[in-house]
Structure 1
Amino acid sequence: MKKIFLLLIVFFTCFQVSAEDRKTIRVSTDNTDLILKVAPNGRLYQSYLGSKLLNEQDIVSLPSASGGDASANGWEVYAGSGAEDYFEPAVAITHNDGNPCTILRYVSSESKAVDGGTETIIRLRDDQYPVDVTLYYIAYPKEDVIKTWSEISHQEKKPVMLSRYSSTMLYFSAEKYFLTEFSSDWAKEVQMSTQELQFGKKILDTKLGSRAAMFVQPFFELGFDRPANEHQGDVLLGTIGWTGNFRFTFEVDNEGNLRVIPAINPYASYYELAPKDVFKTPEFIFTLSKEGTGKASRNIHAWARNYQLKDGKGDRMTLLNNWENTGFKFDEKVLVELMKEAKHLGVDMFLLDDGWFANKYPRNNDHTGLGDWEATKSKLPNGVPALVAAAKEAGVKFGIWIEPEMISPKSELFEKHPEWAIHLPNRETYYYRNQLVLDLSNPKVQDFVFGVVDNIMTENPDVAFFKWDCNSPITNVYSPYLKEKQSQLYINHVRGVYNVLERVKAKYPNVPMMLCSGGGARCDYEALKYFTEFWCSDNTDPIERLYIQWGFSQFFPAKAMCAHVTSWNSKTSVKFRTDVASMCKLGFDMGLKELSEDELAYCQNAVANFNRLKPVILDGELYRLVSPYEGNHMSVMYVGEGQKKAVLYAYDIHPRFGEKLLPVKLQGLDPMKMYKVEEINLMPGKKSRLEANGKTFSGDYLMKVGLNVFTGGQAQSRVVELVAQ
């Protein structure tokens, strides 16, 4: 297999630095090296990115960026616009005198230990203008993940205009590059497709403002020399932490080299940066793997649980939601009965969804009420406190749905503060889902949105969970607050969201929250600093969910992915629907009265098994074994700490008549351990038909020979527990 590495030789003579200042900077994990070198012209170049170099002499031997003609396509780490670089820049600044050119020179660098790794800080400066860029890299050695971002500031007399502001630039040299992207729509999230990158630019971006990832997700995979493969080959997985408009640029130059530029989308977003202010770009997180996407995913999962995801090492609650069961039509009596059902089912929490609030314009449909966050007296005469008390009496925790960033045109809030909504002053208003987005660039609006959570928690300190929704992109794009600085709306709005979330996390650090956005249109790792989990999709058809959960699992651990058992595709069995949901964070969204006695008993047993196996499913290493994209079946497994226990999931989707069924070869086990195989999640009165059930095999056998877990049946499933003896 060809080694993926990047070499840089450039020749510049306009600016020289002494030999002792020709610094080599190494950003290193256990398996990856990013080597940067300062050329004699004082500029910083990427010299190498690839598998870790084992000998210091090899780093010294790397060709140095020695200066000269920029047309030699030197790989500058943070290239500015307007100079000699012919391709997409990392940063573009228009200075006070109208000069659009920025050339950054190396000033200094330092490294220091941080939680889980090493942070490298590199300072660059333009020698003609008082403009500074600081590059940050945090390398997590054990997880083999690098996180990087930049900060831009200046000391010019007047504001400068930023028209490009990238998180980083990475360069690759291979014969071919294959991009896997994740397109989306409502109920069709993370549809995976792969294409070869040819000369020129391929751009993945979003312009929606909020609910930003409705059409494209903020992550990608790159395969080098061949398409990214689950089990082998050189791949890069990358994702950006930005809950708004993002853009990935993939540019293949005239010599067949690839530059990758993750950034906030500059669309309609020229940013006026005042002197001494700091513009911080989003974090870009990436990992390189020589063992395919499976290994790369496990890297990111471990990193997320350890360092990024809110309460990444903590527990997650199973739940019963009321939405699919009741919609908007419920009252206190109905909800109290559902709380009792939640306890009977064995889940930890009852979650009250949409429709509980507003009085002048009661929330009886999606046309009214957003913004008026008081309980509807006709439905809930005793308010939220009575529900919290009823849940406590039933023996479950209580969670509640909110959509605090949105406003309905029929609401008391809109009557009082129409200027708080993003909308155009002189055109007919377009309503997406009959609502508008509140202007979070406005500090008063930030106070209001924080107050939605704060008021509920002040009145009801025992509320144990928030489902935070965001159903509309930004439409009618105009901020009454920003006035003449409209081009900063998209950026300032997202920063306003973060300001609110910071305040919520500071005051209520231990309250779990689900990130929802009409399904999975918000799932980035910046937002997930504040949320314990996210809702993958409103589509809970188990067949579709297999594809959706497969796609999201490329970047997110199981404990971050919510999956509910509902009545979608009721032609499939309750067992199949539950087994699909139980490979993520399990919940239910249906009334128990829909279930037969055997189905209810099955669900109770499945919940008990899930709770018992949480340490394996939610914190174990994921191995994707059989892809739904490659046939009529799917299989994944989780391996717990110390390889003592594992859980295998096998799903028959739509098998062909009489097709050959191959054994599934397991992964991640200890080859020298002996494992007892037991099928769990069986319907009452049914015995396992798994030939290996109750038998013991070595990990070596299970990984080389495998288990016959697939069947020829439509929408069938098996859950198998493996325990080291």
Structure 2
Amino acid sequence: MIKIRINTKPLPYCFLLFVSAFISTKSVAQLVVIPIETQHNALVLQTDTNKHLGTIYFGKKLSKSTEYTKVSAQFKQTPDYTGVLNSVYTPSGSRNLLEPAITVTHADGNNSLDLKYVKHELKNINSNVSLLSIFLKDPIYNFKVTLQYKIYFKEDVIEQWSAISHGEKGNVTLHKYASANLYLKGGNYYLTQYHGDWAKEMQPEESKLTHGIKTLDSKLGTRADLFQPPVFMVSLNKPATEDEGTVLFAGLAYSGNFRTDLEVDYQDNLRIISGINNYASPYTLKPNEEFTTPVFLYTLSTQGKGAASRNLHNWARDYKLLDGNGSRLTLLNNWEATYFDFNENKLARLLKDTKKLGVELFLLDDGWFANKYPRNGDVAGLGDWQENKKKLPNGISSLLKEARQNQVKFGIWIEPEMVNPKSELYEKHPDWVVKQPNRPEHYFRNQLVLDLTNPKVQDFVYGVVDDLFTKNPELAYIKWDCNAVIYNAHSATLKNQDHFYIEYVRGLYKVLEKIRAKYPKVPMMLCSGGGGRVDYAALQYFTEFWPSDNTDAMERIFMQWEYSYFYPSIATANHVTDWGKQPIKFRTDVAMMGKLGFDIVVSELAEKDLKFCQEAIKNYDDVKSTIWAGNQYRLSDPRTANVASMLYVNEDKTTGVIFNYLVNNRYGANSSSPILLKGLDPSKNYRIHEINLYPGTNSTIKADQVYSGDFLSTVGFNPDVNSGRTSVILKIEQAK
């Protein structure tokens, strides 16, 4: 065996790449082996004698990289009749008999495709990140696919996508064009997927994958995550727990129609193929045009779900989320205080309440715009982005002045991608709307979607934001909503309607890129009638997302728990509202587990409730850096225990915050046993004291006790949660 090391001077956190050349006694063919190694894992690719590139190993990194080539011989499975079951990017129409990653019709009408390894290149981006490009080509047709692997060594995260091009004499039709094609071996596979609807986001379901194909997908066009988020987990051999088991976390970073196929093949191996949903979207690829798919991202953990989620959190904060290591603004929203019924005087009082409450920003929600068809409900005005003269005779500038006088910042709600049929915009530009010309209009929340495939519409949507900032440069925050899905998909200006769904998302990203080029640091909330558009492609442009319009604190415990597997707390916008039956303390405590906000009528708060909120904001300011940037540990699952418990620990393991909630109201339900803490240094000593106490109440936690990290992780700590103490927040500090 001849082994060639590509990195002559490997960087501290860079994966190692080897090209191994084997001279077989039966063949002179050269086999290329490419182990892609992160800190703990290895994804190993190898060519066969026909230069087909397949996956021979995906799992925990071996100490000897030369032993990866010995893995395949340990499996005595049914023969691979195709020779491409483990293909890194499975083509259709030739030898493959299972679900393909790519399907094409060539310029001459031929439907077959064969992809063979040509070469690969490695680029070190920095000491932690590398980009591997693998070039594949059809031996008959001038058709190429470049597989891209962006490897984050320390975080064990891989981003994967494909770039497809050709040099044929006519157009080629892409019928399927996945981003990635993974191949895993395990005794059994257990899928955790999510489903939902408005106010019921992120409902988990775990099931054993059986032979055949399980498809997770969306065909909604926009607000694509409404029924089915693009993220999922797969446990190998047995269901993973928080701290044990091998589990893959994955998801497509894309804000439109997605599709993930999970196929257990006849050899009992699992093939995962994910990318843009090819539903109603054959793509005509011109000669020398490159079609680049969205990123499919994944992390593998052999130490359970907790490690996988912390991998993603660290990766997201450092590399993907806009300003992921920055700060966030606490705010007061007017929505539940006024809904559409407000004027300058009402808002002036709310701005004073913002200062009184102690938060940093006032957010003006829906209803501030439109004159011919005033926005007094959700049936009219959407698309007409001029200030309503009756509600705001002096414009937004007067509100900014009032905010300045109260020493708070000012933000505003928009929904620029949508339009009400009852609007001036619709009357002037009916051709700007997504609709079939010969079919009746069908509305979602009394509105239609603007056609972002149209460059004029892109300019309009960008102009909505740009005009607001041009006229009001002190504007400090945008809440970007998106409430409708696409019915009757059709563009009045797009030449090829088969490209509609793809071009819509491209248009959206063009607008967001243009906004961020001019306004790179302005905080923006990604809202979509709740969590209808939560993915890492969109979160490159937004500082936070709105998980759900359901702000009932009890419901939010469960939703935020599931979101926390994939997204860091700094990205999760949580508001205290009047939803639900819980007291103000419970509601506030739950909202503090991410980016805190309020949507309450401050003037109607009881004296003690107001005092509690004011003190809670001060407590939050003290611990928010640990919540946002710390390592997150799920201690007690609300779905299986009486008490939900979540811990955040800073990097130095010197301070932490534990959130504890009673989630079972049956008689006698309480924290009967100590809860094992995680992430602490066993050699350090800690003190634990309760914060966020309601005025007039005393803690049952003895703040003068000292515990070793070893004791807290072995014996645990009881937060004393019961029907009289339904929400308990504990601060952990190293005892000096």
Letter of the 2:684 counterpart: K
List aligned pairs for 1:432-511, cutoff 5 A: 432-483=444-495, 485-511=496-522
| Structure 1, gaps ≥5 residues long | 1-12
Q: Is the 8 A contact 1:633 1:655 kept in 2?
A: no
How far off its partner does 1:64 sit?
A: 9.0
Question: Which residue is equivalent to 1:697?
Answer: 707
Residue 32 (structure 1) aligns with: 41
Post-superposition CA distance 1:161-185 (Å, at most 9, x none): 1110101111111111100011010
Equivalent residues of 2:643, 2:721 under 8 A apart: no
Deviation at 1:688, TM superposition (A): 0.4
1:666-718 Cα deviation digits (max 9, x unpaired): 1000111111111000011211022x433221111111111111433178100
Distance 1:669 1:228, change over 3 A: same
Offset at 1:459?
A: 0.8
Determine the C-alpha separation between the residues in 2 that align with 1:64 and 1:386: 74
Match in the other structure for 2:399: 387
Pairing partner for 1:377 from 379, 389, 392: 389
Indicate if the aligned counterparts of 1:39 and 1:64 stay in contact, CA closer than 8 A: no
Match of 2:176 among 149, 161, 164: 164
Distance 1:721 1:715, change over 3 A: closer
Separation in structure 2 between the aligned mates of residue 54 and residue 644 of structure 1, nearest angstrom: 33
Q: Secondary structure at the match of 1:641?
A: coil
CA–CA distance in structure 1, aligned partners of residues 634 and 249 of structure 2: 16
The alignment partner of 2:347 has SS state of: helix
**Alignment partner for residue 82 of structure 2, among 71, 75, 94?**
71
1:42 and 2:54 aligned: no
Give the counterpart letter for 1:33 in structure 2: A
Is the CA contact 1:353–1:400 (under 8 Å) kept in the aligned structure 2? yes
TM-superposed CA distance for 1:103, in Å, is: 0.7
Does structure 1 residue 657 correspond to structure 2 residue 667?
A: yes
| Alpha-carbon displacement from aligned partner over 1:285-333 (angstroms, at most 9, x marks no partner) | 1111111111100000000000000001110111100101110001111
TM-fit CA distance, 1:632: 2.4
Offset, 1:74: 3.4
Any residues of structure 2 matched to 1:167-206 within 5 Å, and which? 167-206=179-218
Cα shift at 1:383: 0.8
Amino acid at match of 1:332: E
CA positional deviation for 1:662: 1.4
Q: 1:52 is matched with which residue?
A: 61
Q: Does 1:600 align with 2:614?
A: no
Structure 1 residues 57 and 69: CA distance shift in structure 2, 3 A:
closer
Listed one character per residue, the Cα deviations across residues 515-538 of structure 1 (whole Å, up to 9, x for unaligned) are 000001111000000001100000
CA contact (8 A) 2:700 2:720 kept: no
Give the match for residue 598 of structure 2: 588
SS in 2 for 1:169: strand
CA distance in 2, matches of 1:103, 1:389: 65
Give the counterpart letter for 2:44 in structure 1: I
Q: CA separation of 1:255/1:188 partners in 2, compared to 1, >3 Å: closer, same or farther?
A: same
Structure 1 residue corresponding to 2:235, chosen from 208, 223, 243:
223
- 2:10 match: none
C-alpha separation in 2, matches of 1:654 and 1:686: 22
Q: What are the Cα deviations for residues 505-558 of structure 1, in whole angstroms up to 9, with x where unaligned?
A: 111001111000000111100000000110000000011001110110010000
Match for 2:259: what amino acid?
A: R
The answer to whether the 8 A contact 1:28-1:52 is kept is yes
Q: In structure 2, give the amino acid aligned to 1:29.
A: T
* Corresponding letter in the other structure for 1:639: V
Aligned to 1:368: 380
| Structure 1 pair 111–18 and aligned structure 2 pair: CA distance change class (3 A) | farther
Letter in 1 for 2:306: G
Distance in 2 between residues matched to 1:56 and 1:220, nearest whole Å? 30
Which residue of 1 is the match for residue 693 of structure 2? 682
- Asked if 1:138 is matched to 2:157, the reply is no
Equivalent residue in structure 1 for 2:358, among 346, 349, 354: 346
**Residue number among 97, 105, 126 corresponding to 2:116 in the alignment:** 105
Identify the residue that residue 309 of structure 1 maps to in structure 2.
321
Aligned partner of 2:430 in structure 1 is 418
Q: 1:710 to 1:275 in 2, by over 3 A?
A: farther
Counterparts of 2:73 and 2:537, CA distance in 1: 35
1:617 is aligned to 2:598: no
Letter in 2 for 1:481: T
Alignment-derived partner of residue 553 in structure 1: 564
Residue in 2 aligned with 1:579? 589
Moved more, 554-563 or 223-232: 223-232
TM-score (norm 2): 0.94
Aligned-residue offset at 1:26: 2.2
Map 1:321-332 onto structure 2 (within 5 A). 321-332=333-344
Counterpart for residue 91 of structure 1: 102
| TM-aligned CA deviation for residue 655 of structure 1 | 3.9
1:467-489 CA distance string (max 9 Å, x none): 00000011121111114x21211
Give the counterpart letter for 1:626 in structure 2.
S
Q: Which amino acid aligns with 1:23?
A: V
Count of aligned pairs = 705
Question: What corresponds to 2:657 in structure 1?
Answer: 647
Match of 1:252 among 261, 264, 269: 264
Amino acid at match of 1:30: Q
Whole-Å separation in 1 of the counterparts to 2:688 and 2:576: 26
Deviation at 1:69, TM superposition (A): 7.0
Name the amino acid aligned to 1:121.
Answer: S
In 1: Cα distance, 2:498 partner to 2:537 partner: 22
Q: Who is 1:263 aligned against?
A: 275
Report the residue type matching 2:587 in the other structure.
R
Partner of 1:563: 574
Query: How far 1:427 sits from its partner (Å)?
Result: 1.2
Task: Choose from 267, 272, 279 the match for 2:291.
Answer: 279
- Matches of 1:546 and 1:594 in 2, distance apart? 26
In the alignment, what sits opposite 1:209? 221
CA contact (8 A) 1:576 1:715 kept: no
Deviation at 1:62, TM superposition (A): 4.6
1:527 aligned to which of 535, 538, 541: 538
Q: Per-residue displacement from partner, 1:621-658 (whole Å, max 9, x unpaired)?
A: 10011111112220101001200100000000124323
- Which structure 2 segments of 5+ residues have no match? 1-23
Which amino acid letter does the alignment assign opposite residue 192 of structure 1?
P
One-letter amino acid matched to 1:76: S
CA distance in 1, matches of 2:33, 2:73: 9
Cα RMSD over matched residues? 1.7
Cα shift readout 1:271-292 (whole Å, capped 9, x = no counterpart): 1111111111110111111111
Deviation readout 1:415-442 (Å, 9 max, x if unpaired): 1110000011011111111100011111
Preserved contact between residue 635 and residue 651 of structure 1 (Cα < 8 Å) = yes
AA at the equivalent of 1:97: D
Q: Tell me the SS of whatever aligns to 1:608.
A: helix
Query: Partner letter of residue 636 of structure 1?
Result: M
Identity level (%): 49
Whether the aligned pair in 2 keeps the contact of 1:47 and 1:64 (CA below 8 Å) is no
SS in 2 for 1:453: helix
Quick check: 1:654–1:713 contact (8 Å CA) kept in 2?
A: no
Distance 1:118 1:34, change over 3 A: same
- In structure 1, C-alpha distance between the alignment counterparts of 2:254 and 2:138, rounded to whole Å: 27
Q: CA deviation at 1:60?
A: 4.8
CA 1:311–1:207: 2 relative to 1, 3 Å? same
Question: Distance in 2 between the 1:461 and 1:154 partners?
Answer: 47
Instruction: State the one-letter code of the partner of 1:429.
Output: E
